[in-house]
Structure 1
Amino acid sequence: MYVKEFFVFDGGKPVKAVVRNYTEKDFDALIRIQQESFPPPFPSELWWNKEQLKNHVSLFPEGALCIEINGEVAGSMTGLLVQFDPDHPAHTWAEITDNGYIRNHDPNGNTLYVVDIGVRPAYRKLGLGKWLMFSMYEVVVHKGFNRLLGGGRMPGYKKHSDKLTPLQYIDQVVKGDLKDPVLTFLLRCGRTPLHVAPNYLEDEDSCNYAALMQWKNPFKN
Structure 2
Amino acid sequence: MDYKKRLVLKNGERNSEVVIRQYTQKDFVDLIQIQKESFPPPFPSDLWWNQEQLSKHVQLFQEGALCVEVDGVLAGSMTGLLVHFNPAEPHHTWEEMTDNGYIRNHDPKGNTLYVVDICVRPYYRKMDLGKWLMQSMYEVVVHKGVERLLGGGRMPGYAKVAKEMSAEQYLEAIVKGELKDPVLTFLLRCGRTPLGIIGNYLEDEESKGFATLMEWKNPFHSLKSDV
Compute the TM-score of the two structures, normalised by the length of structure 1: 0.96
Structure 1 distance, partners of 2:44, 2:169, is: 30
8 Å CA contact 2:42–2:206 kept in 1: the answer is no
Corresponding position of 2:142: 141
Matched with 2:225 is none
Matched residues in 2 for 1:209 and 1:108: separation?
29
Structure 2 counterpart of 1:220: 221
**1:125 correspondence with 2:155:** no
Give the match for residue 31 of structure 2: 30
Residue 84 (str. 1) matches residue 85 (str. 2): yes
Aligned to 1:4: 5
Q: For 1:116-158, what per-residue CA distance to the aligned partner results, in whole angstroms no more than 9, with x for missing partners?
A: 1111111111111111000000100111111000101111212
Q: Distance in 2 between matches of 1:164 and 1:38?
A: 25
Aligned partner of 1:70 in structure 2 is 71
In structure 1, how many angstroms separate the alpha carbons of the residues matched to 2:13 and 2:220?
Answer: 35
For residue 43 of structure 1, report the CA deviation from its aligned partner: 3.5
Residue matched to 1:48: 49
Give the aligned residue type for 1:156: G
Structure 2 CA distance for aligned equivalents of residues 171 and 39 of structure 1: 27
Matches within 5 A, 1:172-211: 172-211=173-212
Cα distance per residue 1:153-195 (max 9 Å; x no partner): 1112123222322112111111111111110000000000012
* Unmatched runs of 5 consecutive residues or more in structure 2: 223-227
Work out whether residues 43 and 204 of structure 2, in 8 Å CA contact, stay in contact via their aligned partners in 1. no
- In structure 1, list runs of 5 or more residues that go unmatched: none
Give the Cα separation in 2 of the matches to 1:204 and 1:212.
Answer: 18
What secondary structure is seen at the aligned counterpart in 2 of 1:65? Answer: strand
Q: CA deviation at 1:111?
A: 0.4
C-alpha displacement of 1:39? 2.6
2:217 partner letter: K
Q: Report Cα offsets for 1:82-106 as digits up to 9, x if no partner.
A: 1001110000001100110001111
Is the alpha carbon distance of 1:44 and 1:203 closer, same or farther for their aligned partners in structure 2, counting shifts above 3 Å? Answer: closer
**Count of matched residue pairs:** 221
Structure 2: distance between partners of 1:22 and 1:123: 18
Which residue identity lines up with residue 161 of structure 1 in the other structure? A
- CA RMSD across the alignment: 1.1
The DSSP-based 3-state class of the residue aligned with 2:219 is: coil
Q: Which one-letter code corresponds to 2:56 in the other structure?
A: N
Q: By how many angstroms is 1:41 displaced?
A: 4.3
- Residues 1:94 and 1:163: Cα distance change in structure 2 (over 3 Å): same
- Inter-partner Cα distance in structure 2 for 1:220 and 1:167: 30
Partner AA of 1:162 in structure 2 = K
1:35-78 CA-partner distances (Å, limit 9, x unpaired) = 21123443333211111011000100000000011111110000
Secondary structure in structure 2 of the residue aligned to 1:220:
helix
| CA distance in 1: counterparts of 2:45 and 2:197, whole angstroms | 27
Percent identity between the aligned chains? Answer: 67
Give distance in 1, aligned partners of 2:199 and 2:14: 43
Q: Measure, in 2, the Cα distance between the counterparts of 1:184 and 1:60.
A: 28
Please name the residue that 1:110 is paired with.
111
The offset of 1:12, in angstroms, is: 4.5
